[in-house]
Chain A
Amino acid sequence: MAEPALSPRLAVSVQEADFDVAALQQQLLAGAREEGAVATFTGYVRAAGARQAVATMELEYYPGMTERSIEGILQEAAGRWPLLAASVVHRVGRLRAGDRIVWVGVASAHRAAAFSACEFLMDYLKDRAPFWKKEIGPDGPHWVEARSEDNARAARWKDPAG
C-alpha cells in the first residue's frame, strides 16, 4: 500500500500512572483534519488470572529497550498501512484487577487501515515488547507464562497484510 504523504505521528509512553482514554483519543487527533477513522484498544487486568484469582499484578519492563521496541513496532505498522497517527500507552508497576493496563490508538483516513493496524500493534506488542507480568493472588506470586496463542496471533502478520 502507498505510504502517506507525511510521516505519521507516532508516540509511546511506558508509565506507572493510569490514563484517560478520552484525552488520549483527543491527542491522537490533534492538528490534522484528515482522519476519517480512529480505532482504539484498551486492555484491562483480568480478575481471573492464568492460574488463580488475581488481586494485584506487577509489571516489569526493560527501561529503554521497551520503548525502543514499541517504537519499532509502530514504525512497522506505519510502513504497512497509511496511518496518520498511532500511539501506545503501557502501564508498569503494581496494578489491580480491573485496572487499565494498555491502550493503542490508530488514526487513518479510512477504517480498514485503522482496524488492521490497531490489531497488528496489539499482537506485536504482546509477542515482542519486553514486559513481564507477575500475578499475585491467594496462592502467592507467580510469573505469567507466555502463551503460544499470542505467538500464533503475531505470526499471522508475517505475510504483509497492507
Chain B
Amino acid sequence: MLKVLFFARIREELDCPGLELPWDPAVADLDALQKQLAGAHGQRWREVLGRDNTIRAVNQTVITGNSPLRDGDEVAFFPPVTGG
C-alpha cells in the first residue's frame, strides 16, 4: 500500500487530502506514481499534478529527482513552501 498526501493549493484544487493505493509493482517510483495519479482522475488532476514546481516527499523527506518507492511508503505532493 502507498499512502499519498496532498497539501495546500494542491489539496484544495484536487479536493482531496490524500488517498491510499494498493501496492503495485508497476508503480514503483515517484515519477510513475505521479503519472499514474495524473492520468487516472481526469483533466483536473492531470493539470494540477503536471506542474513542474510540485515538491515531492517520500516518508517525510523532500526528494529531488526521481526515487524508488516501497510498499508502505508515505508520499506527499505539495507546492513551494511559504511559512515563517
Interface residues in chain A, defined as those with a beta carbon under 8 Å from any beta carbon in chain B: 43, 59-62, 64-65, 68-69, 90, 101-102, 122, 125-134, 143-146, 150
Contact = CB atoms under 8 A, between A and B. Distances in A.
Interface of B: 5, 7-9, 11-12, 57, 60-62, 76, 78-84
A59 B83 contact: yes
A125 B83 contact: yes
A112 B79 CA distance: 35
A62 B80 contact: no
Contacts of B61: 65
Contacts, number: 70
Contact of B8 (A60, A90, A128, A150): A60
Given A127-B81, A143-B9, 10 more contacts: A61-B83, A62-B78, A65-B57, A69-B60, A126-B84, A131-B82, A131-B83, A132-B82, A133-B83, A146-B82
